[in-house]
Amino acid sequence: MSKSVFALFVFACALPLFSCAARINGSIAADGSASLSVNMALEPQITSLINRFNAAMGGEPSGAQILDGASIAKSMSTAPGIASVSFKNIESQARSPAAIDGTIRISNIGEFLSAADDGEFIFFQQTPSGGKCVITINRENGPAIFELLSPDISGFLDLFMAPLVTGEDLTRAEYLDIVRDTFNKSISDEIAASRIRVSIDFPGQITAVKGGTFSGKRADFNIPLPDLLVLETPLVYEVNWK
């Protein structure tokens, strides 16, 4: 693989973490195993930017295949705690000419990326009387989490100056200003508006949720993407069930 093609591949693999519409649905069993379905679609300004990068490298516009589901799955498959991962390209969605969906199976949610910051990323506990799951992402463990998930993604986010990887002390506004000045306002606006929507079923009736809402056994989270990229305030999500 030539250096230019490899650079484009890394660029494409990282995009689901930037300007996109992302939806994650799944369930966690009492033994800690988890199954997630993931759907991601690129926003038009990011797609245009990739095509410009590709053209500058001497290639043709990537069109609907700008995301390579199989390549992204291969990159993620070696991450700690992942039992299997599969992604495929799907038909264009709404305003986006590039989209993928697939599944991720985790052997034990408490062990997922456990090497990051001595395993403090996810805490999972199931007892006879109920359980608890706590997810914590901050500037201390954020770089380690994404290095484990995919070194390619981590390296690209570093190029995009995301405090999630660099550990820089930037506010959300400062980061979006940097993106605007480096690329353009449209890119900055798309990142600012992007959300990651997550719905997870837990092993019992939920009694309390921090950082989201719940009904019955299902917890829902609506995560602004800039909050994840900047980590101006640590992200802490907690679910308790009986």
Predicted confidence (pLDDT) per residue in 4-62, tens digit = 333 333 444 444 444 456 788 999 999 999 999 988 766 666 566 656 655 555 555 44
pTM: 0.77
DSSP string, 148-193: HH-HHHHHHHHHTT-HHHH-----HHHHHHHHHHHT-HHHHHHHHH
Count the alpha carbons within 13 Å of 222 in the hemisphere toward its beta carbon: 4
Structure tokens at 79: 């991450």
State residue 68 phi and psi, 5-degree precision.
-110, 100
Q: What is the pLDDT of residues 89-125, one digit of tens each?
A: 776 544 344 677 889 999 988 888 776 656 578 899 9
**How many other C-beta atoms lie within 10 A of the C-beta of residue 70?**
13
